[in-house]
Structure 1
Amino acid sequence: MKTIKGPAIFLAQFMGHEPPFDSFANMACWAGELGYEGVQLPADARLIDLELAAASTAYCDDLRRQADDAGVAITELSTHLQGQLVAVHPAYDALFDGFAPVHVRGNSQARTAWAMEQLLLAARASHNLGLKAHATFSGALAWPYVYPWPQRSAGLVEQAFDELARRWRPILDAFDTAGVDVCYELHPGEDLHDGVTFERFLVAVHGHPRACILYDPSHFVLQQLDYLAFIDIYHARIKAFHVKDAEFRPTGRQGVYGGYSSWVERAGRFRSLGDGQIDFGAIFSKLTQYGYPGWAVLEWECALKHPQQGAREGAAFIRRHLIPVADHVFDDFAGSGISSAQTRGLLGLGEAAAPHSMPGERPQ
């Protein structure tokens, strides 16, 4: 077992144009002052030059020095927006074009190529920063067909996952060379959004060792998936963890799909830590039991609470849930101290090591 590292905070939702949210150095200091020990760094030009980070260890050393000066560590890089653009269904072209630079907008092939190159840069940058895990989205080709009406044509899902795997395999290989796990945040809107879809993808990439999971229980509450059983099933692939709360309160008018309501009015909505329904005590216990090797990272999203309050409360919330792993068994004080020979005697085996004859057998 291992003690989970933390608390840490994902910086994406807090970036802005005014200090302290306008640069990596300022945001690192802000996070450290709130009591965080780590920051998850989005690959956004406002905070990091990804191309330079992929090419220059000196630049990455400087980023780490800025983090050290603030009393925090960089936990992972994130390419959620770039990962989304690795695979985009045409229905979402216009909506997702805003995630891409101007020179590839309106050209889906160029946009995909740009996104894939961004992931390759992120692999090298993660290596240069000394990181072991990377957070991202999978993108989606099949998402518009998530509900089987009209009836899906034969092979549609299989072809979608084959193509998704084809695009991601060279990226996974690059991360393997870098010694970094690719942690897909399983999220509605992505082709990888639950255990079944992750397994489909894993088969399509031939069980690639770097295809891993960013565990975020909030997305499972909104899907009504058992987020504790999920850890039992997939713990070996969970290499990143977003600590985000949620609630699901269905009514006679709406349920999982939300009726196109705004976030405030949806039956399922994200909440600040402690304001939702998630049993984080059980989650931290299970992840600790299975030896989760990474960080507990606050991803703040809430339909009601101000982000600054959510950030202030989040560090203490995570710290309360961290479980320092015991270095001895709790009932060692009551150990009997008997010898191996005496233990054999307790079992009625005597001290001889020779096997006994089974009933009905003649002694040799």
Structure 2
Amino acid sequence: MSRPVTLFTGQWADLKLEDLCKKARDFGFDGLELACWGDHFEVDKALSDDGYCQRKRDLLEKYDLQVFAISNHLVGQAVLDKIDLRHKSILPAYVWGDGQPEGVNHRAAEEMKNTARAARKLGVSVVNGFTGSSIWHLTYDFPPTPKSMIDDGFQLLADRWNPILDVFQECGVKFALEVHPTEIAFDIYTAERSLQVLDRREEFGFNFDPSHLIWQGVDPVEFIRSFPDRIYHAHMKDAKVTLNGKSGILSSHLSFGDSRRGWDFRSVGRGGVQFEDIIRALNHIKYEGPLSIEWEDSGMDREHGAREACQYVKNVDFKPSGRAFDAAFSD
């Protein structure tokens, strides 16, 4: 049986969930990865209303859709970040509060604990998301950065996320960090260091997403090979490097969709990601979870793109072989 192909709802949060369910079923998806914003999945309501999670499941079942994970990227970002006005637009009002940074960090951490509790009530075992980073602004080492500042940034990951992960452990839920620029882990080396500082606790792993690796020059297949026991969820998302001698991979302070950028996201199969190699690598580590399409392409109609991407992923996925091709020649 092929892996289920799901649609991450984060880029569709302007639609009511039922409206999106109708579209997703028509597009050919097997399920949804529910974002914790819009009306798709609301953590506070999941915990305060005993019937909320069952109503969500009933709605999905009405359209023959499954759910394997929920995602709370936006709140997770505020756990480690140095808070500024940008965060107000992505956080629930009750997490933003008065906007004082220390309070925002604290409320974001509490909301991530509640997200684990809400996931348990919904009956899913994975929460995808971000951690944020207090040291992302130090990525380019000038003025020269004392090693202690980087050490402190990773220690802050342990200090703030271990209590959150304790709740994940209690709930039997795993947190899957989407390795991504602006997070504490954005490539293979920083992902490994994050695991180390958290004592490699089982509750912490990764939501594999090749689109955030390829433009950095990181091989997505090498990421899978580096963390075979920590790929808890997989996004199917594409990106394309478009360097023309005028721009670089730092994007020139140009918005997504601007043709002058040195790279941008593309609909699945229309960028530089080699998805067949990724499927082979996922087969090798025996990943059996969903292939979740996070559709982002500023140059394409999203409904066209989602339908096309769903079929593309179903076509490119395949089961591993159960036997060696030359087994017939053995004694």
TM bin, normalised by shorter chain, reads over 0.9
- Measure the CA separation in 2 of the matches of 1:102 and 1:37: 33
Find 2:293's aligned residue among 290, 298, 303: 298
- 1:98 paired to 2:89: yes
- 1:162 paired to 2:155: yes
The residue that corresponds to 1:71 in the other structure is: 64
Find 1:59's aligned residue among 52, 55, 60: 52
For the 8 Å contact 1:6–1:318, the answer to whether it is kept is: no
- Measure the CA separation in 2 of the matches of 1:48 and 1:226: 33
Q: CA deviation at 1:4?
A: 5.6
> Residue 73 of structure 1: SS of its match in structure 2?
coil
The residue that corresponds to 1:8 in the other structure is: 6
- Measure the CA separation in 2 of the matches of 1:116 and 1:176: 15
The residue that corresponds to 1:319 in the other structure is: 314
The residue that corresponds to 2:221 in the other structure is: 228
AA aligned opposite 1:234: F
Deviations 1:33-63 (A, max 9, x none): 1100010101115222312323556432221
Task: With the length of structure 2 as denominator, give the TM-score of the two structures.
Answer: 0.93
For the 8 Å contact 2:116–2:173, the answer to whether it is kept is: yes
The residue that corresponds to 1:121 in the other structure is: 114
Q: CA deviation at 1:326?
A: 4.1
What does 1:253-292 align with in structure 2 at a 5 Å threshold?
Answer: 253-263=246-256, 264=258, 265-292=260-287
AA aligned opposite 2:90: F
For structure 1, the residue ranges without an aligned partner over 5 or more in a row are 337-364
Aligned length: 327
AA aligned opposite 2:277: A
AA aligned opposite 1:187: H
> Residue 183 of structure 2: SS of its match in structure 1?
coil
AA aligned opposite 1:10: F
The residue that corresponds to 1:339 in the other structure is: none
Q: CA deviation at 1:328?
A: 4.6
> Residue 4 of structure 2: SS of its match in structure 1?
strand
For the 8 Å contact 2:9–2:40, the answer to whether it is kept is: no
The residue that corresponds to 2:185 in the other structure is: 192
Deviations 1:319-351 (A, max 9, x none): 001213444554454553xxxxxxxxxxxxxxx
> Larger Cα Rg: Structure 1 or Structure 2?
1
> Residue 242 of structure 1: SS of its match in structure 2?
strand
For the 8 Å contact 1:4–1:292, the answer to whether it is kept is: no
> Residue 212 of structure 1: SS of its match in structure 2?
strand
The residue that corresponds to 2:303 in the other structure is: 308
- 1:143 paired to 2:147: no
The residue that corresponds to 2:77 in the other structure is: 84
Q: CA deviation at 1:153?
A: 2.4
AA aligned opposite 2:6: A
Q: CA deviation at 1:106?
A: 2.2
- Measure the CA separation in 2 of the matches of 1:131 and 1:101: 22
AA aligned opposite 2:8: F
Deviations 1:187-212 (A, max 9, x none): 11112211111222212211111110
Q: CA deviation at 1:143?
A: 0.6
For the 8 Å contact 2:221–2:278, the answer to whether it is kept is: yes
What does 1:35-50 align with in structure 2 at a 5 Å threshold?
Answer: 35-50=28-43
Comparing 34-43 with 97-106, greater Cα deviation is found at 97-106
- Measure the CA separation in 2 of the matches of 1:179 and 1:287: 23
Comparing 186-195 with 248-257, greater Cα deviation is found at 248-257
Task: With the length of structure 1 as denominator, give the TM-score of the two structures.
Answer: 0.85
> Residue 61 of structure 1: SS of its match in structure 2?
helix
For the 8 Å contact 1:55–1:125, the answer to whether it is kept is: no
Over the aligned positions, Cα root-mean-square deviation in angstroms equals 1.8
Q: CA deviation at 1:267?
A: 1.3
Identity of aligned residues (%): 27
For structure 2, the residue ranges without an aligned partner over 5 or more in a row are none
